[in-house]
Amino acid sequence: MTSKLTVAALAAFFVATYAMQPAAAAPASPSDAQVAPGKWDVARVRCSDILNADADDRATVAMFYYGYLAAKYGLKVIDVTKISDNLQKVMQQCEAKPKMTVPEAFRAALAPHHKK
């Protein structure tokens, strides 16, 4: 129950954070990631696709990818105190590079930065 409440609260925070921000200036054209009505190739969704979506859809998509990519990379523990900041970093990456795929934006925004 606590985890569902945490996810719901974070999704609400994400919606509130980005609801007032304008969508990217990318043209609203059909996405090549949509392979059929209601079916999307999750590896091909571009940042422009989520930036052009309404705030509720952006929040839903961001939380989906957070969980999807965590599972894909075998993460067993997620620090829920960092979800909000991490999603903000991903959205900033998307705003900077709207043609980047969402998985690429997650990797770019959240990859550990190694110091030499």
Chain segment 13-43, per-residue pLDDT in tens? 444 444 434 444 444 556 888 888 888 899 9
Please indicate, yes or no, if residue 14 is contained in any of the structural domains: yes
Residue 29 lies in a domain: no
For residue 30, tell me if it sits in a domain.
no
Residue 76 domain-assigned? yes
Domain assignment of residue 96, given as a range: 2-24+41-110
pLDDT at 23: 47
Tell me what pLDDT residue 65 has.
94
> How are beta strands 34-36 and 39-40 bridged, if at all?
antiparallel
Q: Is residue 36 in some structural domain?
A: no
Residue 13 near residue 59 (C-beta atoms within 8 A): no
Q: What is the pLDDT of residue 92?
A: 96
What is the reported pLDDT for 38? Answer: 84
Ranges of residues in the chain with a pLDDT under 70 are 1-30, 113-116
Residue 46: strand, helix, or coil:
strand
Say what the pTM is. Answer: 0.70
Is 67 part of any domain? yes
Domains held by the chain: number? 1
